């Protein structure tokens, strides 16, 4: 099945029926709760138990907000899908809700929030909905991270869980965050598991230590040169791999294969000759 962000813009994809199914699905509720709690763990709020003012980016129907309520935090939620926010209102969540496209940036006063979280949202910024340069992913990411950096107090963090489809997308996102002034990087939980693997962008305002993933890795925010070098090495590995596949069927390989078939008693194995493994001339 195609990824949701490739099917339609979020305000269309999350219509009334999908929004309702998403909110009432017990599996979605469990996963949302797990990722929200992990995001709060990475957010590393002060341990004194005092309530914090948090921004929930892409709050949807308020599943993450309910957890923030239980922990005593005050929160503001933003989402671009009206149907999701309508369900949040019906469920009487405690947070203040805004209908807003995060790709247009934020308009809050500088230093307003003690932290920000986002669950399964920022991959939507990587798809252009129109041909306008202002709607291109780099422009939307730039506005998003620049204004997000401004609204956070110093020191603080923003933890954004997302589903990148490639290393290129991770590099694009982390590069935009670095240009906006953030420190930190990518935290990957369970990198060797297809089902359990989760990617968190742990962004920091001010000097802080970088957390590690669960059974996973940590990575500094990439710059363009490092990203280019990494992708160049990857392309080189693929070329070398392809080259090995092309050269594998030489004369020695063919003779060894035929000898193996003869040992097994297979009938009809062609005899060896001076023509074995020789390339045929192209027919005209």
pLDDT at 227: 46
Return all residues near 44 (Cβ < 8 A) that are at least 6 apart. Answer: 157, 208, 211
Q: d(Cα 253, Cα 276) in Å, to the nearest integer?
A: 10
Architecture of domain 4-222: 3-Layer(aba) Sandwich (3.40)
The domain locations on the chain are 4-222, 233-263
Residues 260-270 pLDDT 10s: 888 878 888 88
Q: d(Cα 274, Cα 147) in Å, to the nearest integer?
A: 72
Q: d(Cα 83, Cα 86) in Å, to the nearest integer?
A: 5
Q: Would you say 38 and 198 are in contact if contact means Cβ atoms under 8 Å apart? A: yes
pTM for this predicted structure: 0.76
Q: Would you say 54 and 113 are in contact if contact means Cβ atoms under 8 Å apart? A: yes
Going residue by residue through the chain (284 aa), what tens digit of pLDDT does each one get? 579 998 999 999 999 999 999 999 999 999 999 999 999 999 999 887 789 999 999 999 999 999 999 999 999 999 999 999 999 999 999 999 999 999 999 999 999 999 999 999 999 999 876 667 778 999 999 999 999 999 999 999 999 999 999 999 999 999 999 999 999 999 999 999 988 999 999 999 999 999 989 875 555 565 554 444 444 555 555 556 555 554 556 788 888 888 888 887 888 888 888 778 777 665 54
pLDDT at 95: 97
pLDDT at 230: 46
Tell me whether the omega of the peptide bond preceding residue 155 falls within 30 degrees of 0, making it cis.
Answer: yes
198-205 vs 152-162, strand pairing mode: antiparallel
Q: d(Cα 84, Cα 62) in Å, to the nearest integer?
A: 8
Q: d(Cα 103, Cα 54) in Å, to the nearest integer?
A: 19
DSSP letter (8 states) at residue 208:
-
């Amino acid at each position: 099945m195609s990824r949701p962000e490739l099917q339609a813009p979020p305000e269309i994809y999350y219509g009334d029926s999908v929004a309702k199914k998403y909110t009432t699905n017990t599996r979605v509720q469990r996963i949302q709760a797990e990722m929200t709690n992990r995001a709060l763990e990475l957010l590393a709020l002060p341990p004194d138990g005092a309530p914090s003012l948090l921004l929930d980016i892409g709050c949807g129907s308020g599943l993450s907000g309910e957890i923030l309520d239980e922990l005593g935090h005050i929160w503001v939620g933003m989402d671009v899908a009206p149907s999701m926010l309508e369900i949040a209102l019906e469920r009487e969540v405690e947070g203040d809700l805004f209908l807003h496209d995060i790709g247009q940036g934020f308009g809050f006063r500088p230093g307003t929030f003690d932290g920000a979280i986002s669950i399964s949202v920022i991959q939507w910024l990587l798809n252009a909905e129109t041909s306008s340069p202002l709607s291109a992913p780099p422009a939307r990411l730039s506005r998003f991270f620049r204004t997000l950096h401004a609204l956070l107090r110093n020191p603080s963090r923003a933890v954004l869980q997302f589903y990148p489809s490639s290393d290129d997308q991770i590099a694009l996102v982390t590069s935009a965050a670095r240009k906006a002034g953030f420190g930190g990087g990518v935290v990957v939980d369970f990198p060797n598991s297809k089902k359990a693997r989760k990617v968190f962008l742990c962004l920091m305002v001010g000097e802080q230590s970088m957390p590690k993933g669960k059974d996973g890795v940590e990575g500094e925010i990439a710059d363009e040169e490092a990203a280019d070098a990494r992708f160049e090495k990857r392309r080189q590995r693929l070329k070398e791999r392809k080259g090995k596949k092309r050269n594998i069927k030489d004369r020695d390989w063919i003779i060894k294969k035929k000898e193996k078939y003869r040992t097994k008693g297979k009938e009809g194995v062609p005899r060896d000759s001076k023509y074995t493994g020789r390339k045929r001339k192209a027919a005209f």
